Amino acid sequence: MNRKKPMVIALGGNALIRKGQRGTIEEQFDNTRKSMEGILYCLKKGYNIVITHGNGPQVGNLLLMTEACKDRTPELTLGVCVADTEGEIGYMIQQSLTNALRRENTDTCVVTVLTQVVVDKNDKAFSCPTKPIGPFFQKEEAERFQQEKGWDIAEDSHRGYRRVVASPNPLKIIEIQAIKCLLEAGSIVIAAGGGGIPVIIKENGDLEGVDVVIDKDLASGVLARDIHADALVMLTGEENVFLNYKKPNELPLYNITAKEAQRYLNEGHFPPGSMGPKIQAAINFLNWGGSFALITSLDKVREAFEGNAGTKITMD
């Protein structure tokens, strides 16, 4: 039996598509390979790893392709797009990490699990879209799509405008027992990609997909809870979490408590479409018994664990 401490590592969208890139498969594979260093470091630290990942740009692009071909191919639902990209990105991470492990003379098995995540059909989020998907647009272009396609549009952390969709809270993971069994066998598991495939439980007990997306970080927190993870690591485009982000009085945070994080969240420092879910996921995870949460950039994992970068959140 595998007795290593479990850890969930959530890769942000920039793990696959970097700023200024078109997002070709070649670019995504190259970026994915470069993001493996932090995961290898955590493995060497003695953790048993579950990897989650974002898929906002990929889902958005798939929806744009569907729209462009709507007269020739059947329309895809948002839930099916999440499932498609969960498999696509899981493949890229799985192959990249398998190759990296081989170069380290390690034959650990890497497995992708298509993951269904339960949401409440009465969640108020269904009527309040906040989750950004797809590419960034200039304001004029975003307003045109809003008029032509009926999209909900919002500014995303001063980086541009994106389509936003409903994002209900994740409640539980259907495939959790399979994930636990794979971890116990010593495998590295890729799961809950893009927050997982959103489903509701009908009155007769059947599962049914719904046309929303789930925040990847909140789902990662639920996953971390259910596998009794020691740590939740969220890798994003910034080295630290900031107060007053992109303002003249911007202030990086290094070591904070869950109570402080909650106060800053309540004060509006962390937008719901970007850093807000990461902070909420960290708070949830700690309240569920996790040891610590860490938020940093893809290239600062080692420095963050050594206390020289990143934002570490603990109960005390």
Q: Which of 12, 13, 90, 193 is catalytic?
A: 13
131 is catalytic: yes
Residue 196 to residue 55: CA distance in whole angstroms: 10
247 is catalytic: no
Q: For residue 266, what is the enclosing H or E element?
A: helix 258-266
DSSP output for 238-257 = SSSEEESTTSTT-EEE-EEE
Q: Which of 14, 48, 169, 284 is catalytic?
A: 14
38 is catalytic: no
Residue 281 to residue 130: CA distance in whole angstroms: 16
Q: Which of 31, 216, 300, 312 is catalytic?
A: 216
Q: Which of 61, 278, 290, 310 is catalytic?
A: 278
The tokens 């070709």 sit on which residue? 24
20 is catalytic: no
Among 117, 110, 126, which residue's Cα sits nearest to residue 82?
117
258-284: buried (b, 16+ CB within 10 Å) or exposed (e) per residue? Answer: beebbebbeeebbbbbbbbbbbbbbbb
CA angle 305, 56, 267 (to 5 degrees): 60
312 is catalytic: no
Q: Which of 55, 60, 131, 240 is catalytic?
A: 131
| Residues involved in catalysis | 13-14, 131, 216, 278
